[in-house]
Amino acid sequence: MVTVHGMGGTGIMSAAVAAAREFPRLRVLALTVVTSMTGSDLADIGVAADTEEQVLRLARLAVGAGCDGVIASPREAGVLRGLLGPDRLIVTPGVVLEPEGAVGGHARPGTPRAAFAAGASHVVVGRSVTRAADPVAASRRVRAAAG
């Protein structure tokens, strides 16, 4: 998988898709809104939409550009699955094992189980494993929590 930033627009996403054709197994994913951003962060950079609106807007552009899927928070996975259908990839960073109180910088986190239940095809788990006292045990917890 390779990532292209959806905020780059259709031209950049289309160019990435065209370049990837040489590699038939390579999947091009469009990053929508990073999981650390909120609506006020979007407003700071001149985006008037709330996070879900912006995620959906960029996902539509990604589909139009031929991307194989998107990267978005677990909280948008359900609405994205409805928009993208069953075959496109939805990769969700911001996946944590801890309850909502300990999210490690993610403004829109979710658990592995919630992400997959909502329609994610893949989850990205970072700090819950890399900062754990026992990363192997934490990895096992992620797998068990995925359902």
pLDDT in tens, 94-117: 888 865 444 567 778 788 999 999
Range among 32-46, 70-84, 114-128 with highest mean pLDDT value: 70-84
Query: Domain total for the chain?
Result: 1
> Given this model, what pLDDT does residue 102 score?
47
Could you tell me which of 118, 92, 107 has the C-alpha nearest to residue 39? 107
| Boundaries of domain holding 115 | 2-145
Stated pTM of the model: 0.90
- What is the domain-level CATH number for residue 27? 3.20.20.70
Identify the pLDDT of residue 16.
98
- 64: alpha, beta or left? (left if phi > 0; alpha if psi -120 to 50): alpha
